[in-house]
Amino acid sequence: MRSKIVTADEAIALIRDGDTLASTGFVQTGFAEALLSALERRFLDTGSPKNLTLFAAAGQGDGKALGLNHLGHAGLLRRVVAGHWGRMPKVGQLALGNRIQAYNLPQGIICQLFRDLAAGKPGSFSKVGLHTFVDPRYDGGRVNAATTRDIVSLVEVAGEEWLFYKVGSVNVAFVRGTTADTFGNISMEREALTLNNLAMAMAAKNSNGIVIAQVERIAERSGLPPRQIKIPGILVDCVVVAEPAQHMQTLATQYNAAYAGEFRVPQASLVSTPLTERKIIARRAAFELPPNGIINLGVGMPEGVATVAKEERISHLLTLTVESGLIGGIPSTGGDFGTGVNMDAVIDENQQFDFYDGGGLDMACLGMAECDAAGNVNVSRFGGRLTGAGGFINISQNARLVVFVGTFTGNGLRVEVDDGKLRIVEEGRQRKFLKQVGQITFNGQYAYDRDKPVYYVTERCVFRRVRGGLALIEVAPGIDVDRDILPNMDFAPIVGEYGEMDARIFNANPMGLEAELLNLSLPERVIYDPERNILFLNFEGMHVRVVEDVQAIWDICELRCRAAGKRVGVIINYDRFRINQDMYDAYAEMDRYFLANYFSQITRYATSAFLRAKLGEAFSARSIAPHVFERREEAQAFLAGRGGDSSGPT
């Protein structure tokens, strides 16, 4: 049998003009640098292979010269279908200059296309991308005027809209592993991620193409444990042993055994970070964290939420995930982004997106470059830059709760916190809240139509997507709406009743988030007054996120009612109360149970007209009397009219 162990130049010589190349990698991790540089070298020396199509899910490179930037030469590429463009600016310049055909598709879609191509399917059906720039009613994912062919189509199945993604076969796959035996079986024991390597190899092999693997060492045939084989040798045509400098675990780290899961690292000592605008934003976003939830934090500013969680000692209540395939543990930042330590599991990238697209995320915290009056967000193309959506569309469209984070203005913003108040020292020169975003990466109306709660958190205020657009719901202490917010926006948000951002955010001391998330203060919020036979429920500022929150309320109320020994009247304070959409049924069932067994009457009050209307609608729809008053006195008077006594302080 011909040996599969060849040099990089020998392997690259097999690539023909016009081939479609699929390349593995995730940001600065796991791409085949030796193969990509050899491909560039052959093209510059011979002018061949030319007119290639590049097929890449995640960004791959250092954003300068490495990774996919090796392919940024006129004539080498004819067409590029990529999920993220920001790591390959040399290729991006070809697209912006109309010198290649270029598409930007959701990263998760491309990951799943590899698997569908391997299975001989014509493409992929998905709702991911509906009503974004990927939708053919908008741009169809096309990047420039040179790109005229549609590869995304809108179809209807069983009365519902779907997108169908069609991309052709794969002729060459660049995959990567740690060890290969002489037959080409490949293990990945020192790799931080498994990515789409297996699916890509299958897609190429079943397209009658070739698979070229980059590894760091060779073993004798049958010298590797079969359970450790990630890419079977039957799929591999060539194996190239790379020099260590071209086979780093990440571009920032030659090798870290913890990234490979060889051991669990001890928890680092907590070092509190300064109260900057980034930390203020991360602290406010952390209030939305669902206890025991599965969460995705985007790159950049959202990473700060993990730091806040560590400072607040609530990391054990969360499961953080990364679209690269990590589940649990501590995600890495900076040049190691995509890797992590102390993980519970590492799965293939396409499997992670299956989980995300099916609604597996309880919360996503993502950045925002631009936002408009409809709550649309742009992170893919702005300021003359072609960044690409990456996994943003998959994640933001399907997570149960979405929190976008970013400074209110950019490019030069400076703030100070003094005595618990925020002060704008110097306003940023770049506006982020525009009349209309340059490109729709997230569609606010589509999210609202599907009852998805969406928040937009800045250092000075918080917005929520409501009926009619973006509503101001919180303002930082020290901030004046007419001075610091409205003049720095290109549109007028909905401004009605709004609250103040939690004062704890603007104090350097710990915020006590564990008690907040677990509702540990419930015993202090549920008080029985035996003289008037009234149970007072102070739910001010509470957030009912999951069914365990409803159960906690249920348990403490039942305990108080049993102690009373008779039916009680109930007054509930719902100021700044929030309940997730999918918890209304469980909450209403609790109300029905207590009305049947313990309560003589429930009256509720909330100063927010929006919340009164929302609660009233929810209770009416579930056949519960919708008595929600504006003031406590009105609620007490109503209860007194039904036989209760409203005298005395509450």
The half-sphere exposure of 503 on its side-chain side, counting CA atoms within 13 A, is 3
User: What distance in Å separates the CA atoms of residue 202 and residue 119, rounded to the nearest whole number?
Assistant: 8
Residue 288 a catalytic site member: no
3-state DSSP assignment of residue 437: coil
Residues 6+ apart with CB under 8 A from 411: 428, 429, 430
Residue at 47: amino acid letter: G
**Active-site option among 40, 323, 349, 370:** 323
Task: Give whole-number Cα distances, 634 to 525, 594, 641, in Å.
Answer: 20, 22, 11
Q: Where are the alpha helices (DSSP H) in 464-546?
A: 513-518, 522-525
Among candidate residues 438, 432, 430, the one with its CA nearest the CA of residue 384: 438
Question: What H or E segment, with its residue span, contains residue 455?
Answer: strand 454-457
Torsion of CA 603, 608, 612, 618, to 10 degrees: -120
Cα–Cα distance list, 483 to 273, 427, 493, 637 (Å): 29, 11, 14, 40
CA distance 180 to 575: 62
Q: What angle in degrees, to the nearest 10, is found between the helix axes of 584-597 and 609-621?
A: 70
Query: What's the token pair of residue 255?
Result: 């090798």
Measured distance CA(206)–CA(201) in Å, rounded: 9
Cβ atoms of 333 and 397 closer than 8 Å: no
From residue 135, how far is each of 56, 165, 396, 440, 451 by CA, in Å? 20, 10, 15, 10, 21
Peptide bond before 136: cis, by omega within 30 degrees of 0? no
**Cβ 10 vs Cβ 2: under 8 Å:** no
Closest-CA residue to 495 (of 461, 444, 453): 461
DSSP 334: G
Q: How far apart are CA 640 and CA 649, in angstroms?
A: 14
d(Cα 400, Cα 348) in Å, to the nearest integer?
A: 22
3-class secondary structure, 442: strand
In 488-568, alpha helices (H): 513-518, 522-525, 547-564
DSSP 600: E
Tokens 């429930």 appear where?
602
> Which residues, other chains included, contact 114 with Cβ-Cβ below 8 Å and sequence gap of 6+?
22, 57, 170, 196, 199, 200, 202, 203, 350
Report whether 60 contacts 25 (CB < 8 A): yes
The set of catalytic residues is 323
